[in-house]
Amino acid sequence: MSNLTDDSERRAGQLRAFGYLALAATAALVCIALPIGVGLFLGVLLAFTLQPTYGRLRSRRWRAGPAALVCTLASTTVVGGVVSGLVALFITRGVTLAYEVPALLGPGGAIRVVADRNMATLRPLHLDPAAISAKLAGDAVALGSRAAGFAAEAAEATLGGLLTLFFMALAAYYVLRHWTEMVARAETMLPFEPRHTHALLDHFRDVGRKVLRGTVVTGIVQGVLAALGYALAGVPEPALFGALTAAASLAPAVGTLLVWVPAGLGLVVTGHAGAGVFLLVWSTLVVVVVPDYVIRPRLVGHEESVPSVLMFMSLFGGVEVFGLFGLVLGPVIVTLALAVLRTYESALRADRGT
């Protein structure tokens, strides 16, 4: 009996030692992957989004490798094309618009004419109209001079974007092809009940899919609808402002209001009241209401019960920690953390018989 006890204790000690070694190996892998972590994480989310399509190909007797490869190549091509188009649009049209601003604010410019016409209202406030005009003109010239630098920085960032796209494709392919094996290994290696591990991984997959679809697809739809409204209202560079609206849709709370409200008010102030009112009404009903209350619910389904304070924390905190990608990573991490805590709570209750 004592020999059996000693052997059992020795095996338990060996398992603990291997467990510590596995933790150290995992930490080493995480440290090595951190520089490319954004691409890997986005690839995982992309794979979750593509799994229904991958499943349909597999049901038609496609082999795992070709099915995963086709899904990955098609989605990566679309993502790369959209990102490249947006970057080219920001660089070409954005820089052109920045160079045109000084002329608009200069003597005889459209904005300067409207400003001079309304400068008289500033005198009772003891403000110097000439000084304000000079300040605006100086800022416009500075903006034009910085535009070239922005274009150069965007070109330098292209290499980083290509690397992110490459690792995103690799991660998406691997997860699509090996997700079942990954779940089985996690159930074996993690010190939880297999049903809890399986539930957490399923929750992670569902949340990642919903966040990516709800954030990215809705933002693209809002950008397209906004660009159509800008074109109908006569806003210059409607494609550029539509792209800016799509990017602003990621911002917490205010979102697309950051773009279409100033554009609409600018039309009203410059003497195009009808176009300005039309743009404000169009943006409210079509850009905000339709995507947020019709399209997003169909993509996301019923949202998980996440307190508002935690959702705002995930957005602002995610941006602070991960940059722009934190708008996607933050909600996924917070929602997954809540799932872990709720699973732990249910396990405790089951253990205590309550």
**Per-residue model confidence as pLDDT tens digits over 53-96:** 999 998 998 998 899 999 999 999 988 888 777 777 777 766 66
Residues 245, 239: Cα–Cα separation, whole Å:
10
Those residues whose C-beta lies under 8 Å from the C-beta of residue 283, and which sit 6 or more positions away, are: 226, 229, 256, 260, 261, 264
User: What is the chain's mean pLDDT, rounded?
Assistant: 76
CA–CA distance, 141 with 152 (Å, rounded to integer): 18
Rounded CA separation 221/82 (Å): 13
pLDDT in tens, 175-214: 999 998 888 888 888 777 788 788 788 878 887 787 777 7
pLDDT recorded at residue 228: 92
| Rounded mean pLDDT, 21-28 | 82
pLDDT digits (tens, 9 = 90+) for 2-19: 565 666 777 777 777 777
Residue 113 has pLDDT above 60, yes or no: no
Q: How far apart are CA 197 and CA 184, in angstroms?
A: 9
DSSP string, 333-352: HHHHHHHHHHHHHHHHHHHH
Instruction: Note the pLDDT of residue 295.
Output: 73
Whether the pTM exceeds 0.75: the reply is no
Q: What is residue 289's predicted lDDT score, i.e. its pLDDT? A: 81
Give the start-to-end residue ranges of the domains of the chain. Answer: 36-180, 190-354
Whether residue 256 contacts residue 245, with contact meaning beta carbons closer than 8 Å, is answered with: yes
CA angle (219, 222, 227) in 5-degree steps: 125
What are the tens digits of pLDDT across the range 33-43? 888 888 888 88
CB 314, CB 223: distance < 8 Å: no
Residue 117 or residue 347, greater confidence: 347
Asked whether the beta carbons of 54 and 67 are under 8 A apart, the reply is: yes
Q: What is the pLDDT of residues 170-186, one digit of tens each?
A: 999 999 999 988 888 88
Mean pLDDT is lowest, of 14-18, 152-156, 223-227, for 152-156
Q: Which of 102, 110, 97, 106 is nearest to 140 (CA)?
A: 102
Q: Are 264 and 276 in contact (CB under 8 A)?
A: yes
Residue 308: pLDDT over 80: no
